[in-house]
Every structure is written in structure tokens, then in C-alpha cells.
Structure 1
Amino acid sequence: MVTVNFGRSRQNDVYTAGIHGRKPVIPTDFAELERRAKAKMSARAWAYIAGGAGEGRTMAANRAALDEWAIVPRVLRDVSQRSTEIELFGQTLAAPVLFAPVGAGALAHPDADVHIGKAAAELGVPYIFSNQGCAPMEDVAAAMEAVTPGAPRWFQLYWSTDDRLVDSLIARAEKMGAAALAVTLDTTMLGWRPQDLNLGSLPFARGEGINQYTSDPSFWEIVAERLHDAADERPEISLGAIKTLFSIARNVPGDLRNNLTAPEPRAAVQTFLDIYSRPSLNWDDIASLREKTSLPIVLKGVLHPDDARQAVDLGVDGIIVSNHGGRQVDGSISSTDALVDIADAVAGKTKILADSGFYTGADVFKALALGADAVCIGRPHMYGLALNGADGARDAVANIIAELDLTLGLTGHTDVASLDRSALKRLSRA
């Protein structure tokens, strides 16, 4: 686990390779990374991973709010030795960065979750396994262990309408070594996402991104019950439906030929769509979660300071300030503005992570100075994954950590714990 002067080391590696005419496979700036990933990815993949809700106003707000804070460097401080290392929920992490959960990652690269897990394990930072992942959590955990024994990982929980499934997913998360449980609150229903809608593309309807479910015995019990009670209906036959059936048959466990004719695969997809998330989820459910698990509980999708205060009152271990990457509500408050309000409201009484729109090391620096304990990275690692698999996901996040380290040194800081708002100046709003 390398955390001391990581930025200079990474720079030196890149420049040394340049002597031999080798350029980085993964661009070191976000704009070029995004451009190359778009050229590589399918239209469906780009719509799902890069798209936002409505007119994209929340995605734009995430970036605009960050730009309102300027970094104020200090000089003549000894910054020759630096470390990005932090401690979070009893684990020492190489940097205050986590790989955020992104559903249906196989749209960007086959076996996406396994590759992302390997990337995170190499860097010594957690991967929050997606509940809507494309590989069973046990497989991802095993891949991470093969790279780095004890590699940190969390699990993201979508609270199903069926508590049997909730309990089963939590038990599996505990068994596979999750260090925390991140409960997603802001996707009890899908937001209005025109890029997906204009293509008529919902990955889960094709069996993409439901592997946590199809690897779960409780889920198959629910599917069997629904099949037993279902009326005999003839599905509409079309070329598109046939293509979708082949996609489902490939993505659901079992023999492809059998899956094409058996009712279970199609029933599994429909069951997922019907029960994956609970619109009635409320604070009483969160209060009951402590009875279900001993893992640290982190609430993902908190944007209002009153909700943050209530989370503290319930004794949750952390919150993730997130607007789901701008993918749920168009015109929502930015993650940065919400972070400022929430950091003031909770006053250090719980861990705060930031998510949505943080793409560079300088962005992470600002988030930490504004009160975050760590930052979740989403689209950058998915773009790196699309370009070069596990190595690409690793390099995209390594570049962010390297820039964070250099920004620390160039602003007169030697560790992330020393950052506070004195490192920033808020620019006047237009």
C-alpha cells in the first residue's frame, strides 16, 4: 500500500515511459478520458453510465458548485513527506477515495465488477459492490482477495419490497467480508432519464445487472412463488423481444438453450423489476436495520441537513452526500452545496462521504476541505474500465489519488486530515 508521495511517483512512471515513446493508455484529464470512453462504448452503455436525469441540470450544477470554491495555496512549509492515508470504520485506507457502486457495469466491459474489484484492491481503497452488479458479490470478493488479502470492500443495499431478500443480501454481505453497508435511499424508483428512454433501453429488463439477485437463493424462492401464482399469459412476439430473450438467457445462470425455453429466466427479470426497491422505505425501516446487521450503516443519497441530523439521531455510522450522479432528479441541489450544509449540521457526529460530480484530485481536495471524510468516484473509473478493463479502472482512480497528493503538497499540506475550509475561498456567485 503506497501512500507516501504517490503523486510524484506516478508522474515519474508516466514520464519515464514517455522517454521510450509510450503514452498513458488512460488519459490523465477527465475531459479526454470521457471523450475516449464515449468513442469506445455502445450507445446503450453511454446513455446509462454517462446520462443524467431530465435536461442534465443537476450534473451541470455539480460541476458549477465545485468551481465556486477556489483553492488557496500556502508556501514555505515542509511538504517533502506526504500521506493520503486515512482510517475509516476500523480500516486503514491508502487514500480517502472509494470506488462508487455503478449498476449494470457489464455495459462498459465484460465481468465489470470483478475487474473493478481488482482495481480497488491494487490501490488499497474500498469498492462498494453494486447491488445491481453483473457478478455475485462472492466472486468479486474472491477476486479482490487474490490480489490483496483483506482488501477493503463495502456492499450497497437496495431495500427490496421483500424482506426475505433484504435479509439474505445482508447476510451474504457480512459473510463475504463487507466492512460497511451503504443503503441507497434516492432510487426507490427510477428517475426520468431521457438518454435511456430515447433508446428504450433498461439494462435490467435484459437481465443485465441483476446478478446479486440471480445468485441469491431467497430471490429464486420468490420467483418460484410468483410463477406458481401467475396467470398463463402469452407474451408479445417481436424481433426485439427475441433479442431481449437471448440477452436474458445469457445473463441468467444456467444453460443457454434451457434458459431460452424455461419460464424462470423471464420470471426472474420481471420479479427483479417488481421488487428491487421499496418506495415506502422510511425512517422506521432504517431504525430496524441495526437489528439485522452489526456492520457499520451508511445512508447514501442524503442531501438535506435535517435528514442528516435525523440520521445522526438514529445512530447511523455515516452518510454519503449524493444526488446519484445527477441521474435521479433534474434541477436538484448540487452535491457540493449539500455537503457544506450537511457538514455544518452534523458537526463531526458521523462520517461524511461525498459523491456525484467529483472527477479529479483537486475535486477530492475541495470535498475534504469542505467537510467530507472521503469521496466516492463513479464515472471516471467506469470510463477507465471501458478503455482498458481492470488496469483502466485502476489507472483512472490512481490518477485522481496522484493529483490529490500533489495538490496537498503544492498547497502546503502533508496529510488529508489537516484540510479544512481555510484551504479554500468561496467566490462570489454571479
Structure 2
Amino acid sequence: MAGLDPVHRDFFAGGAGDERTVHANETAFDRLRLLPRVLRATGVPDPRLTLFGTVLPGPVLIAPTAFHRLAHPDGETATAHAARDTGTVMTVSMAATTPIEKIAGTGARLWFQLYPQPDRDFTAHLAGRAAAAGVTALVVTVDSPVFGRRERDLRNGFLDLPSGLACENLRDPVTGRVRDIVLDPSLGWDDVLRLRAVTRLPILVKGVLHPADAAEAVARGLDGVIVSNHGGRQLDGAVASIDALPAVAEAVRGRVPVLLDGGVRRGTDVVTALARGATAVLIGRPVIWGLAAGGRDGVATVLRRLHEDVVRVMALCGAATLAELTPDLLREVRP
């Protein structure tokens, strides 16, 4: 990451306010200890899972993160090539610096993240454009009625992308002008459900921490829930994702996939999250650091090493499959 501009590094690494939630996402895992089983005759563990009809080699997906070309000139296409090379899913951000069509040209498995815009017709256009490019699910971010106060960016004066970069998925279909992302404090459940009228893709809501919201998502027929505090970039002081996970999983009761986003850095974190009720996890910052360090190969190295670590930890816990990662393998410790 030596070549990464310090201002851009702060953009990726930083969060809102005092960054307590950024820190908590990682440190919350420190209170959770694995209680392995032995002599289970498991053989080599099988970490595969199926999401929305697609068999994936493991339970680690790429979270939506903006502006990959700030980290590497090849940007989102490099990340997508790495996703294809490793067989995982890349969730493309609405704020990508590469058009979805070019990213899809890599042949990677893609989901598409969006913020519903006050212009509902443009939101429908985005969903249709993503579907036409071949994405297999929509991820609707719902934890951002307003922008969080990201003080590193304010101190650095980082308010706009450098010349030559733009949020390419936000180009107006008529004028070609790149629109601003407009967050909408009036957003409600019905606005998310309007996407049902314009797409047949599975719809996941990202940014759920309260179990009542998870239950509401299922009751309204949405297809998945992503437990996330936006990497600590929105509400500082919000609960760590891994701490919110058990109550959300209990509210969902296996009716739809529950994914965890936030703080995952090692195979032990992945296994811990699955034992706490997650179907799979998403990683964001580790992908960006891999991209900055080595482009496509750097991202692929991050993904492969994490996959290998998951298999190793499963073996050490006596789990042959992901289904065997159950709550009895965890203990919570207090300082």
C-alpha cells in the first residue's frame, strides 16, 4: 500500500465521528472464543454453500465499496477478475468508478448495490441496467438516510473524486451527466419494495442491526438481510455487527440468508460469524488493501488466503461442513 495516497487511504480506512464503531467491529471478535470439538473424523472440510441457486466455493463474498480506482488504476475490473479467479461474488457499488457493464465483462459473479434515489425512475433505471449486465442479486443499502460525518475526509478536504474519475453507474441515460448520490431521509419499506415491480432479482437489505427490522424485511418478502453498520462510516457508536448478529439471526429463523458485514479479517472471524448465525460474510477493507498492494493478484491473494484459513479453522474446530458451525462452538469471555 506504499503507493496509496494518504488522503485516499484515510477515505477507505476511516469512519464517522470518533471511529468507535470502526474499532468495535474488529475488537468485538476478541470477546468470542472458539470451543473446538475433537476426534470427529471429519476429513477435509467442505466450505461450499449455495446462495440464490449458485454454488460458491466458500462463505466469503466481496462487500460493496466505492471508488476502487482510487486504490489501483484498474479499479473494479481488477477486483472483479480476482472474484472470478476465486469463484466468489463481488458486490458492485453504485458508486463504482467503472461502469457495471465493463465490470460484468470480466465474467465474475456479481451483485449490485444501490441507494434508492429520490428520483424513483432513475432508481428503476439503475436496477434494470444492472440486471441487463447480468448481476444476480440487488443489495439495497438502508442505513443511510443522511451521510455520516467522516472527519478524516473533512480534515483532508476530500470532497470530490480527482479529475478523470467519476461514479460511472450514475450517468444519466439521457444527458450522460454523472448525477450526485442523493440520500433520502424519507425512504421507507415501500420504496424498497417498488424494486419488485422492475426486477425479478433477489433483493437483500444491507444495514440491518435491529432484530425487529430483520423480521420486517422477511415479513415484507425480501430475500436476504445483511447485518452491517456500514463499516462504522455512518452512525458512530452503533453496535458492532458481530454483536448484532445473533438477535437478527434469531428473528429471521432461517427463512432467508443472513450475511454479516464488518470486522472480518481472519478465518477465525468467518467461522465465528457462521457459528453465531450468519450464512456467509462480506469483506470490504481487506479487498481494498489487497487491490492497493497488488491489483488483481493482490485481491486474489487476500481471497485465497482467507478461504484457506476458513478451511483450516473448520478442521481445527472439528467441523466438516458449514452446517456444523453451530453456537455450541463459541464462548463469550469478558475482560
TM-score (norm 2): 0.96
1:375 & 1:172 partners in 2: Cα distance?
Answer: 26
Whether 1:133 and 2:41 are equivalent positions in the alignment is no
Greater Cα offset, 416-425 or 197-206? 197-206
- What residue is the counterpart of 1:49 in the other structure? 12
**Equivalent in 67, 76, 85 of residue 122 of structure 1:** 85
Rg larger in structure: 1
2:142 & 2:113 partners in 1: Cα distance?
Answer: 11
1:374 & 1:66 partners in 2: Cα distance?
Answer: 16
- Any idea what SS the aligned residue of 1:385 has? helix
1:136 & 1:51 partners in 2: Cα distance?
Answer: 25
- What residue is the counterpart of 2:46 in the other structure? 83
Aligned residues of 1:44 and 1:107 also touching (Cα < 8 A): no
How many pairs align? 335
Whether 1:297 and 2:203 are equivalent positions in the alignment is yes
1:337 & 1:94 partners in 2: Cα distance?
Answer: 26
- What residue is the counterpart of 1:93 in the other structure? 56
1:87 & 1:209 partners in 2: Cα distance?
Answer: 34
**Equivalent in 88, 100, 109 of residue 152 of structure 1:** 109
Whether 1:161 and 2:118 are equivalent positions in the alignment is yes
**Equivalent in 173, 180, 192 of residue 272 of structure 1:** 180
**Equivalent in 132, 141, 155 of residue 184 of structure 1:** 141
Tell me how far 1:103 sits from its aligned partner. 0.4
Aligned residues of 2:80 and 2:103 also touching (Cα < 8 A): yes
Tell me how far 1:190 sits from its aligned partner. 1.7
Tell me how far 1:297 sits from its aligned partner. 0.5
- What residue is the counterpart of 1:310 in the other structure? 216
Residue identity over aligned pairs, in percent, reads: 40
1:307 & 1:212 partners in 2: Cα distance?
Answer: 29
2:7 & 2:307 partners in 1: Cα distance?
Answer: 30
Tell me how far 1:204 sits from its aligned partner. 4.4
Tell me how far 1:205 sits from its aligned partner. 7.8
- What residue is the counterpart of 1:228 in the other structure? none
- What residue is the counterpart of 2:105 in the other structure? 142
- What residue is the counterpart of 2:259 in the other structure? 353
**1:332 partner letter:** A
2:102 & 2:134 partners in 1: Cα distance?
Answer: 12
Tell me how far 1:96 sits from its aligned partner. 0.8
Check 1:393–1:209 CA distance in 2 against 1; reply closer, same or farther (3 A cut). farther
Q: How does 1:22-421 map to 2 (within 5 A)?
A: 37=1, 39-143=2-106, 145=107, 151-204=108-161, 208-214=165-171, 216-218=172-174, 220=175, 223=177, 268=178, 271-273=179-181, 276-421=182-327
* Greater helix proportion: 1
Q: After superposition, give the CA deviation of every residue in 1:208-235 in whole Å (9 maximum; x if it has no partner).
A: 4411113x515x37x5xxxxxxxxxxxx
- Any idea what SS the aligned residue of 2:244 has? helix
- Any idea what SS the aligned residue of 2:207 has? strand
- Any idea what SS the aligned residue of 1:73 has? coil
2:216 & 2:10 partners in 1: Cα distance?
Answer: 35
Q: After superposition, give the CA deviation of every residue in 1:383-412 in whole Å (9 maximum; x if it has no partner).
A: 000000000011112111111100000110
2:78 & 2:260 partners in 1: Cα distance?
Answer: 23
Check 1:211–1:359 CA distance in 2 against 1; reply closer, same or farther (3 A cut). same
**1:98 partner letter:** L
Tell me how far 1:164 sits from its aligned partner. 2.2
1:186 & 1:383 partners in 2: Cα distance?
Answer: 24
Runs of 4+ in 1 over 3 A off after TM superposition: 203-209
- What residue is the counterpart of 1:33 in the other structure? none
1:360 & 1:55 partners in 2: Cα distance?
Answer: 25
Aligned residues of 2:15 and 2:233 also touching (Cα < 8 A): yes
Greater Cα offset, 390-399 or 196-205? 196-205
